[in-house]
A and B are shown apart, each in its own frame.
Chain A
Amino acid sequence: MSSETPVQPDQVAHVQGLFVQHLPALRGFVLALVSDFSLVDDIVQETFLTVTAKAADFERDTNFRAWAWTIARYKTLQLLKKRPALTSHFAEDVVEALCAHDASQDWKTEEMLQQLTKCVTELAPKARQAIELRYMQAHRPPEIARSMGWTVDAVHVALSRARVFLRDCLNRSLAATA
């Protein structure tokens, strides 16, 4: 196994550097398949460890993204097998079908983040509060409902509308800057 061969320290640093560079997109990729934030962290962490351990396998100037995504997909499936009772993720064949889709690797996270920061300021105050509780505080909708005095359904509607609004705002902004 090539991971048993001596690895140059600069190869590990190189691979870890690439990992960090692609981290936002990788995390986003896993988050799509597994909606539980803390499970996502576990998978990303496992992926980092594997990428580091297999650093010698990675050939420079090849597609790091494709390589790391394959590892992340494998780690996701592995975790899903371990926790079949969980409802926050998809069945294996669905994960495979989603990963086979071209769009699974099409992330321009830096641009999107910059535009999103502007789009978020356009949300109504309550929608924004719900978005902050969900994405900054990592609360689940029932916790958000308690804290805002809403029903879980109302929280879900607010979050869904906010996301659709943000998607449209992002599409507009990205089209304008393209």
Chain B
Amino acid sequence: MPLEITRLEYLINRHFDELLTGEERAELERMLMESANARARFWEMARVNAVLRQWGQEEWGRKDGAQAPLRVLPSIPRAARIRTVHRSGEVPSTVNPWWPLAAAAVFVIGFFVWTYLPSQPVVTERGVAVLTHTSDVIWGRGSEGTKAGSVLQPGWLHVKSGVLQVEFSRGARVVLEGPADFCLTSNNSGELTRGRLSAVVPEPAHGFAVQTPRFTAVDHGTKFGCVVPASGAPELHVFGGLVGMLADGATKETRSLHANEAVRVEGDKVQAIPADARAFIDEEELALRDRNGLHERLVAWQGFSRDFSQHRDLLAYLDFQPSGDSARSMVNRAANAPAGSGAAIVGCDWAEGRWPGKGALEFKRTDDRVRMNAPGNFASLTFLAWVRVDGLPNRVNALVSGENTERLGETQWYVFGDGSLGIGVRTAERGKSTQWWHAHSAPIFKGNTLGTWTFVATVFDRTTNKLTHYVNGQAVSTTAINIEPLLELGTMEIGNLGSHDGSAREVGNFEGRVDEVAVLSTALNAGEIRRIYEAGSPGEARSPGVVAQAN
């Protein structure tokens, strides 16, 4: 069900998010002063906001407690820590004449929270970090298919080569250079058994710990690096702030390292060595590599896209490259495009696509859509799209939907509410008990796949009577076609369920971004689908399997 938000709710929400402009604040204040009903609505939302904050604080406390064994150095006094978690980058207030009382209050409050916690913690699947960047990563066994944007659960990352960045949910950011084996042990700690790692630890993540075979480094802020060679002695380099080191098996900090200090740990011997920041790839360098690599891929894709637009069977080909920030239409780039088949943009905002510099449309409102004509009836069809699914608000979340003509053969291509890729074809008139033929894949968009750029393709092939769904160039499901009607799109819609005469229809808007769509009147084969995926892949990590096929 769509969540409609009224103007009053919108302004109240902006108040809670600290986003109100002066004008908006004045408008909200006016509404609140004039209407008791508005004040009641305000308190209703305020209670949700308040109980969410309480939930957040308790969850934070619960997580902090759960990882206590890893937090070997409780270096910050409890009371002060409670203050420091509230805002990253904010300096806690220091001198306070009421400090003893405040500390007592924090103790009492802490006791209350502790006694209040339910005895059975709620078990839910939750990430401890996000993979934010990858540069030429080839994954090792067990980590294949991990993509930039993925939410990471506790567990190992095996990297054969390349560089990646992980952002822990407590705020620490780690750049890891392959070959490497790194285990995420909690939202503020990891274990490095091989490889080279640099970490930036902002204030809320103080206490961030990296365990190696010889020592554990515990950061008190702000920047350090670890090297664990495949054979040889591991090293710890500190570039800023203070890092505590615990020898293997020790429970107390055995040594503190300040900025520009480094040690090599060989057996029981700890030897001072010069700190070498240049030996580590830092965030800026990774970002630069990332940009350069992505730009190369963008240029390569542009060449491919020009050639692909000449495909004689293309009915529609939209590359989502806006002619200006305010462009409200797109050219159908298909060489044999029917006359009058340009696309009209309704509602959607322009956004960044799968590469920096590549356009995309963001679909978030229930009425956002792109409309274009694709006249004709077709025995076979191929649908291709690069999408970033951000959420699945509806039962049907339309990718490409034919006009709502209620004629046999009306076709819809969509992501189903459970995350599966689906197609539906009308096989009977309204009123019949079964009106649609459907073919769905297993759920694709869930957990890690949400929020990442994904290539989806569906081929309705009447020559083989098979319907095949593809995800990132690989076939994921095949269904026998046992229906008669020819397929029809008419005035089709991208990102929404097609309308005909403005009549009401089930809400089926897509939520996320789309940055390339093609519809062909014939069936492409598996090899063609894979080549289109490889030419358009945004350059995220590839598994060795895919690399081998590409070569």
Tell me the A residues contacting B by CB distance below 8 Å: 16, 20-21, 23-25, 27-29, 31-32, 35-38, 41-42, 45, 48-49, 52, 87-88, 90-91, 93-94, 97-98, 101, 103-104, 106-107, 109-110, 112-114, 116-118, 120-121, 124-127, 129, 131-141, 143, 147-149, 151-152, 154-161, 163-168, 170
- Chain B stretch 43-102: residues in CB contact (< 8 A) with chain A: 43-60, 63, 83, 85-88, 90, 93, 98, 101-102
B484 within 8 A of partner (CB): no
When the two chains form their complex, are residues A38 and B29 in contact, meaning their CB atoms are under 8 A apart? no
B105 within 8 A of partner (CB): yes
Min CB–CB distance A152 → chain B (angstroms): 7
When the two chains form their complex, are residues B52 and A90 in contact, meaning their CB atoms are under 8 A apart? no
When the two chains form their complex, are residues A31 and B50 in contact, meaning their CB atoms are under 8 A apart? yes
**Measured between alpha carbons, how far is A41 from B93 in the docked complex, in Å?**
11
Please list 27 pairs of residues, one from A and one from B, whose beta carbons are closer than 8 Å in the complex, sorted by A's number: A27-B50, A28-B47, A28-B49, A28-B50, A35-B16, A49-B98, A98-B42, A106-B43, A107-B47, A112-B47, A120-B55, A124-B392, A125-B151, A129-B151, A131-B52, A132-B56, A134-B17, A135-B56, A137-B60, A137-B204, A138-B56, A138-B87, A138-B88, A156-B14, A160-B9, A160-B13, A164-B9
**Measured between alpha carbons, how far is A113 from B50 in the docked complex, in Å?**
10
When the two chains form their complex, are residues A149 and B149 in contact, meaning their CB atoms are under 8 A apart? yes
When the two chains form their complex, are residues A103 and B390 in contact, meaning their CB atoms are under 8 A apart? no
Taking CB atoms, residues of chain B closer than 8 Å to A155 are 17
When the two chains form their complex, are residues A163 and B49 in contact, meaning their CB atoms are under 8 A apart? yes
When the two chains form their complex, are residues B86 and A141 in contact, meaning their CB atoms are under 8 A apart? no
When the two chains form their complex, are residues B25 and A103 in contact, meaning their CB atoms are under 8 A apart? no
**Measured between alpha carbons, how far is A164 from B542 in the docked complex, in Å?**
39
Asked if A166 meets B450 with Cβ closer than 8 Å, knowing A103-B43, A121-B124, A140-B18, the reply is no
When the two chains form their complex, are residues B47 and A101 in contact, meaning their CB atoms are under 8 A apart? no
Min CB–CB distance A175 → chain B (angstroms): 14
When the two chains form their complex, are residues B450 and A126 in contact, meaning their CB atoms are under 8 A apart? yes
Determine chain B's interface SS by DSSP, over half rule. Answer: helix
**Measured between alpha carbons, how far is A147 from B151 in the docked complex, in Å?**
12
Query: What's the interface size class on B, roughly?
Result: 35 or more
Taking CB atoms, residues of chain A closer than 8 Å to B9 are 160, 164
Taking CB atoms, residues of chain B closer than 8 Å to A157 are 364
Tell me the B residues contacting A by CB distance below 8 Å: 3, 5, 9-10, 13-20, 22, 25, 29, 32-33, 36, 39-40, 42-60, 63, 83, 85-88, 90, 93, 98, 101-102, 105, 108-109, 111-112, 116, 118, 122, 124, 126-127, 130, 132, 149, 151, 167, 169-171, 204, 351, 362, 364, 390-393, 446-447, 450-451
Min CB–CB distance A22 → chain B (angstroms): 11
Asked if A27 meets B18 with Cβ closer than 8 Å, knowing A103-B40, A127-B391, the reply is no
**Measured between alpha carbons, how far is A107 from B85 in the docked complex, in Å?**
26
**Measured between alpha carbons, how far is A16 from B59 in the docked complex, in Å?**
24
Taking CB atoms, residues of chain A closer than 8 Å to B54 are 24, 27-28, 109, 113
When the two chains form their complex, are residues A166 and B48 in contact, meaning their CB atoms are under 8 A apart? yes
**Measured between alpha carbons, how far is A28 from B364 in the docked complex, in Å?**
30
Taking CB atoms, residues of chain B closer than 8 Å to A38 are 83, 86-87, 90
**Measured between alpha carbons, how far is A167 from B114 in the docked complex, in Å?**
26
Asked if A112 meets B364 with Cβ closer than 8 Å, knowing A124-B450, A137-B171, A161-B3, the reply is no
Asked if A161 meets B5 with Cβ closer than 8 Å, knowing A27-B54, A28-B54, A36-B18, the reply is yes
Q: Which residue of B lies closest to A36 (CB)?
A: B18
When the two chains form their complex, are residues A31 and B391 in contact, meaning their CB atoms are under 8 A apart? no
**Measured between alpha carbons, how far is A126 from B60 in the docked complex, in Å?**
18
**Measured between alpha carbons, how far is A104 from B390 in the docked complex, in Å?**
35
When the two chains form their complex, are residues B171 and A31 in contact, meaning their CB atoms are under 8 A apart? no
When the two chains form their complex, are residues A126 and B169 in contact, meaning their CB atoms are under 8 A apart? no
When the two chains form their complex, are residues A160 and B10 in contact, meaning their CB atoms are under 8 A apart? yes
Taking CB atoms, residues of chain B closer than 8 Å to A149 are 132, 149
**Measured between alpha carbons, how far is A160 from B44 in the docked complex, in Å?**
14
Tell which of A21, A94, A101, A112 touches B40, judged by Cβ atoms closer than 8 Å. A101
Taking CB atoms, residues of chain A closer than 8 Å to B32 are 90, 94, 97-98
Taking CB atoms, residues of chain B closer than 8 Å to A107 are 47, 50
When the two chains form their complex, are residues B48 and A97 in contact, meaning their CB atoms are under 8 A apart? no
Taking CB atoms, residues of chain B closer than 8 Å to A98 are 32, 39, 42-43
When the two chains form their complex, are residues A117 and B122 in contact, meaning their CB atoms are under 8 A apart? yes
**Measured between alpha carbons, how far is A133 from B86 in the docked complex, in Å?**
11
Tell which of A31, A37, A154, A163 touches B13, judged by Cβ atoms closer than 8 Å. A163
Tell which of B15, B18, B52 touches A141, judged by Cβ atoms closer than 8 Å. B18
Taking CB atoms, residues of chain A closer than 8 Å to B109 are 20, 23
Taking CB atoms, residues of chain B closer than 8 Å to A97 are 32-33, 39
Taking CB atoms, residues of chain B closer than 8 Å to A126 are 390-391, 450-451
When the two chains form their complex, are residues B29 and A94 in contact, meaning their CB atoms are under 8 A apart? yes
Taking CB atoms, residues of chain A closer than 8 Å to B57 are 135-136
Taking CB atoms, residues of chain A closer than 8 Å to B364 are 154, 157
Min CB–CB distance B128 → chain A (angstroms): 11
**Measured between alpha carbons, how far is A141 from B14 in the docked complex, in Å?**
10
